[in-house]
Structure 1
Amino acid sequence: MNRLTDHLIIISFDCLSALDFPIIKELPHFKTILQNGAMVENVESIYPSVTYPCHATIVTGKYPNRHGVINNTLLQPGRLSPDWNWFRSSIRGTTLYDEVKKAGMTTAALLWPVTGKADIDYNMPEIFANRPWQNQILVSLTSGTPRFQWDLNKRYGHLRNGLSQPELDDFVLEAAVDTIKTKKPNLMLIHFTDLDSMRHFHGFSSDEAIAAIHRHHSRLGRIMVALEESGIKDNSTVVVLGDHSALDENKAVHLNVLFKEHNLITTNSRGKLVKWKAYCKSCDGSAYIYIKDPSDTITYEKVKSLLSEMIQDPTSGIEQVLSGSQAAERGADGECAFMIEASLGYYFLEDYEGDYIKTITAEDVKADKKYTLATHGYSPVKEAYGTILMAAGKGIQPITLPSIRLIDEGPTFARLLGVSLGDTDGRVIEELLKL
């Protein structure tokens, strides 16, 4: 299969929405991409539409129940901070970076989700120290390419302020510019989370979110200059994409509080979870409900009855209830007993103490980062909830398409680099390509 480009730079601006188009079309660097390349006005995300499953879908062309990353975090009932799907081993089957490397090309990834311990030439994975005894730099170094990361940390580590934004993305930008100039990879995956953070903590259309879009515009400009200075611009393709959108909310639903009241969750005298029969696992705007023993029909029927009552109540925060098989039909985890969708203005948390519903204020968000004012994870068919894709450079046809699906991106990117992802759920969007 012939290669359509020599260097593919994929920039993920986490939480970039189709609704952002009126802003970005007026900004010069985005405008350069749009005037010289392709634009997809609406990209349908996946279910649940959260970051780690989305980014695994982008590099596999598969729905979560096929690539295996069915949520951001693992099912660890009672753990205050569950572990995330950090590692490549979470993904079943092949990925874009695997196939590109197999074809003898060089690969690089900067804070791209689910790349811990991946076979990537220059890898700085997204992972954080989640245990009191762990050191952040050591955790990163041992999960990616040690010397590559060490050099970048030595040069640009002073820009970081822990995991805070916008400083983290400023660090990622300098690492990206440096990597383009010194390594000139054939495939480069870059993940920026500034906009996602600002939307979570301040709201979808907040001044802080708009400012983050403008910062992303500057970051895009710096990357384009780096391609020029490295001498590879004419043989490169730049893709700018989002993984999901977000919706404003101010009410957190704690279904596990109800489960505890009905003796489906048991805690000790210190309030620590010691036993569970049913558990609501949050995906933010949606949630999985798991039954610990799948053969426990009594618990299953009890949960089903509870959900049937709640769906009748417009103040319950639950808009829709799916069975496990219905969830699987939508590409989500078929191992769940049920999957629930939040009503507009609501999202799910995993607390099992306190009130069933908590109204969130800006003060709550400042005090505790588990609270947010806008979030994702909702059904991708919710209204005004699409994301976006634009691309320019070698192999790209100047065209505007009304819509594609997130599952179509991986096969299309693979085709640009002359490789195949095999049996995918998505298809190559040939209309975007100069074949």
Structure 2
Amino acid sequence: MKALTNRLIVISFDCLSSSDYQLIRTLPNFRRVLNEGSYVQHVEAIYPSLTYPSHVSIVTGNYPKRHGVINNTLLQPGASSPDWNWYRANIKGTTLYDEAYKANLTTAALLWPVTGKAKSIQYNLPEIFANRPWHNQIAVSLLNGTPAFLWDLNKRFGHIRNGLNQPELDDFVLECTIYTLQTKKPDLLLIHFTDLDTNRHQNGVFSSEATEAIHRHDKRLGRILDDLEERGELAETTIVVLGDHSALDENKAISPNVILYEENLITVNRKGKITDWKAYCKSCDGSAYIYLKHPVDTQTMKTVKDILTKLAADPSKGIEYVLTGEEAGRKGADPECAFMIEARSGYYFIEDYLGDYQKNVTAFDVRTNKKYMFGAHGYSPEKPNYTTFLMASGKGICPNRIIPYMHLTDIGPTLARLLGLDIGETDGNITEALLDIDNVQRGASYEKNVRA
């Protein structure tokens, strides 16, 4: 299979929504991509629509139940800060960057989720943070990425960072991007920017702060395009700009574990720590999994089902509907859960097991505790006005096409087709309407005839 491009740059602007298009189409650098390329109006998310499962679906073309990353964080009942799915080893099957590496392409990734210790990424700055008081951020990054590369980046640009705070983190990533393009010349570069996502969580989906983040993203995109153009490489490069999910405004946090504790399904010691559990609600923000410690415990299964049925029957409890594990699996989520619950509009789930079932979130809460926020995702892709979108330009992309719809799982096989790679059987399909396959094939035939 002939490649359609020599170089592919995938830029993920976390939490970019289809609703942002009316603003984005007016901004100079987003417009540069739109004017030269094509875009997909609505990209349907996976379930749960969270950052880590979404980014794995983008590079595998598969649903979470198949690629194995079914949540951002791990099931660690009672942990105040659960560990995340940071590592490539958590992904089942192959990825776009694995196949690119096998094809002798140079691969690089900058804060792309679930790439810790990925051997097939030659220049890797993984998204991973120091999650314990005794951890050091630089050491954690060096141990899980490409040490010499990261040491060089930190020496050059580490002064830009301010911990995990935005916009400094994305400004750091931008400088790393320009430097990587200039010095490593990757054939495949995956970049993850989180400024917009952070501001939507902290301030609301359509807040002025979120709008300012989009403007900053436009400038970041412009820096990348300008660098490629100044070095004469833009014409031979494919640029794909995408979001991983949308977000919805909310101001009510609900804690089903409080009810499970009251029903003696969670055991807590005098210090308030969980010592045992029969059932546990694992948050995905806008949705949540309910797990049983012993899946064959039929009595606990019945008790939990009764609890959830009563909660869902009362709109003030914030649960829109309840799925069985089998039903969740059919939607692409984790079929190993006992149940999956979806939050009503304005609500999201947290994992508290002591205190009140419901909390009205205030600005003070958001400023002082990371578990509280004004914008959330993780909801079902069936929620209205909840799609993301994608735009692309450059070699191998059809110009001036508007494609109404694709699924997030379609992105992986489409990117693979651009690079002439095979990522195997996938849940998604190639979006051929986006690709300029005929033109590339005509070019190949012309070159063959000239040589003859």
TM-score for the superposition, normalised by structure 1 = 0.99
Equivalent pair of 1:380/1:386 in contact (CA under 8 Å): yes
Provide the residue aligned with 2:446 in structure 1: none
Measure the CA separation in 2 of the matches of 1:231 and 1:272: 59
Give 1:247's aligned residue.
248
**1:76 aligns to 2:76 (yes or no):** yes
In structure 1, C-alpha distance between the alignment counterparts of 2:275 and 2:359, rounded to whole Å: 24
> What is the CA distance between 1:382 and its match in structure 2?
0.6
Q: Where in structure 2 are the equivalents of 1:272-351 lying within 5 Å?
A: 272-351=273-352
Aligned AA for 2:391?
Answer: M
1:184 is displaced (CA, Å) by: 1.1
1:30-429 matches, within 5 Å, as 30-119=30-119, 120-398=121-399, 399-429=401-431
Letter in 1 for 2:14: D
AA matched with 1:54? S
Residue deviations 1:191-227 (CA, integer Å, cap 9, x gap)? 0000000000000010100000000000000010121
1 CA distance for matches of 2:232 and 2:321? 53
Name the amino acid aligned to 2:11.
Answer: I
2:445 maps to what in 1?
none
Distance 2:247 2:114 in 1: 21
Q: Tell me how far apart the structure 1 counterparts of residues 28 and 285 of structure 2 sit (CA, whole Å).
A: 34
Q: Name the SS for the 1:174 alignment partner.
A: helix
Take 2:353 and 2:230, find their aligned partners in 1: how far apart are those partners?
54
Local SS of the residue matching 2:392: strand
Deviates more, 1:223-232 or 1:12-21: 223-232
Deviation readout 1:159-215 (Å, 9 max, x if unpaired): 000000000000000000110111111000000000000000000010100000000
> Displacement, 1:129?
0.7
The secondary structure found in structure 1 opposite 2:315 is coil
Provide structure 2 residue ranges, at least 5 long, that are not aligned to the other structure.
Answer: 438-452
Q: CA deviation at 1:232?
A: 1.8
Q: Distance in 2 between matches of 1:235 and 1:34?
A: 17
Whole-angstrom distance in 2 between the partners of 1:230 and 1:101: 25
For these two proteins, the number of residue pairs brought into alignment is 435
Distance in 2, matches of 1:123 and 1:389, equals 24
Instruction: Give the SS at the match of 1:55.
Output: helix
- Find the aligned partners of 2:235 and 2:200 in 1 and give their Cα distance: 35
Distance 2:62 2:178 in 1: 30
1:289, 1:38 → 2: CA distance? 41
Deviation at 1:310, TM superposition (A): 1.1
Q: Secondary structure in 2 aligned to 1:130? A: coil
- Cα deviation 1:131-179 (Å, max 9, x = unaligned): 1111100000110100111101100000000000000000000000110
Correspondence 1:433 to 2:444 = no
Residue identity matched to 1:137: I
Query: Separation in 2 of the partners of 1:122 and 1:228?
Result: 23
How far, CA to CA, are the matches of 1:2 and 1:80 in structure 2? 49
Give the distance between the partners of 2:51 and 2:288, measured in 1 at CA.
15
Q: Tell me, yes or no, if structure 1 residue 13 matches structure 2 residue 13.
A: yes
Looking at structure 2, the residues matched to 375 and 76 of structure 1 have their Cα atoms a distance apart, in angstroms, of 21
Query: Take 1:112 and 1:367, find their aligned partners in 2: how far apart are those partners?
Result: 27
Q: Once the two structures are superposed, what CA deviation does each residue of 1:62-104 show, in whole Å capped at 9, x if it has no partner?
A: 0000000000000000111000000000000000000001001
Task: Measure, in 1, the Cα distance between the counterparts of 2:378 and 2:239.
Answer: 27
Distance 1:308 1:142 in 2: 46
Question: What is the letter of the counterpart of residue 418 of structure 2?
Answer: L
Q: Which runs of 4+ in 1 moved over 6 A?
A: none
* Mapped contact 1:184–1:230 kept (Cα < 8 A): no
For the 8 Å contact 1:7–1:237, the answer to whether it is kept is: yes
Deviations 1:252-307 (A, max 9, x none): 01000000000000100111111100000000000000000011101000000111
Is this contact kept in 2: 1:184–1:232, CA < 8 A? no
Q: Deviations over 1:18-61 (max 9, x none)?
A: 00000000001111111110110000010000000000000000
CA distance in 2, matches of 1:143, 1:280: 30
Percent of pairs with identical residues: 64
Q: CA deviation at 1:16?
A: 0.2
How many Å apart are 1:231 and its aligned residue?
3.0
Q: Which stretches in structure 1 are left out of the alignment for 5+ residues? A: none
SS of alignment partner, residue 9 of structure 1:
strand
2:227 & 2:328 partners in 1: Cα distance? Answer: 43
* TM-score, normalised via structure 2 length: 0.96
Shift of 1:245: 0.3
Aligned-pair CA distance for 1:229? 2.9
